[in-house]
């Protein structure tokens, strides 16, 4: 898999949350972790971000173990530090202290230089009626696309 092809998405994020703002952050990984990421063995279903000692950390990002790493194997669900500028961290910390805001990961990708990057979002949880509206919009878009396919 080429570095540009890796693109792991959190599919539930846009359904469960209303996205307010997006940021791209670096992520501190160990040797066996980056090799697993390059193979695409990442799951971010239950992942979320939290502040600890003024730094942003991601929890529950599951990076599967790398088969060829023997003694130097990593723990799949360990906390990993996210790398952002102080200005961005300050903005996020101020917003998270407000009620109802959280930071969630949207996608994990490799940049052109081969570094693992993670797109995170400042988000607010959706209510049940908002989720129903999202489902209704998706259904209408799907029906419209199907009807347009018939006339091509």
Summarize pLDDT for 34-49 with one digit per residue, the tens: 888 888 888 888 899 9
Q: Residue 93: inside a domain, yes or no?
A: yes
Q: Residue 146: inside a domain, yes or no?
A: no
Q: Residue 44: inside a domain, yes or no?
A: yes
pLDDT at 135: 86
Q: Residue 133: inside a domain, yes or no?
A: no
Query: Residues for the chain: how many in total?
Result: 152
CATH of residue 108: 2.40.280.10
Secondary structure of residue 5 in the 3-state scheme? helix
Distance CA 45, CA 100 (A): 20
Looking only at the bridges linking them, the beta strands covering 48-52 and 42-43 are unpaired
Summarize pLDDT for 49-87 with one digit per residue, the tens: 999 998 999 999 998 888 887 777 888 888 999 999 999
Query: Residue 121 sits in which domain range?
Result: 3-126
Q: Residue 150: inside a domain, yes or no?
A: no
Look up residue 40 and give its two tokens: 């695409």
Q: Residue 9: inside a domain, yes or no?
A: yes
Q: Residue 17: inside a domain, yes or no?
A: yes
Is the pLDDT assigned to residue 3 strictly greater than 60? no
Q: Residue 11: inside a domain, yes or no?
A: yes
């Amino acid at each position: 898999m080429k570095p540009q092809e890796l693109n792991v998405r959190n599919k539930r994020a846009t359904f469960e949350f209303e996205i307010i703002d997006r940021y791209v952050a670096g992520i501190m990984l160990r040797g066996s972790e980056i090799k697993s990421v390059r193979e695409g063995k990442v799951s971010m279903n239950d992942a979320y971000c939290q502040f600890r000692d003024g730094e942003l950390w991601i929890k529950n990002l599951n990076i599967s173990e790398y088969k060829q790493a023997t003694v130097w194997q990593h723990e799949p669900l360990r906390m990993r530090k996210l790398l952002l500028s102080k200005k961005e961290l300050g903005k996020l910390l101020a917003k998270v202290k407000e009620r109802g805001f959280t930071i969630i990961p949207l996608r994990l990708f490799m940049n052109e230089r081969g570094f693992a990057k993670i797109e995170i979002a400042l988000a607010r949880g959706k209510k049940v009626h908002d989720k129903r509206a999202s489902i209704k919009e998706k259904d209408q878009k799907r029906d419209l696309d199907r009807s347009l396919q018939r006339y091509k």
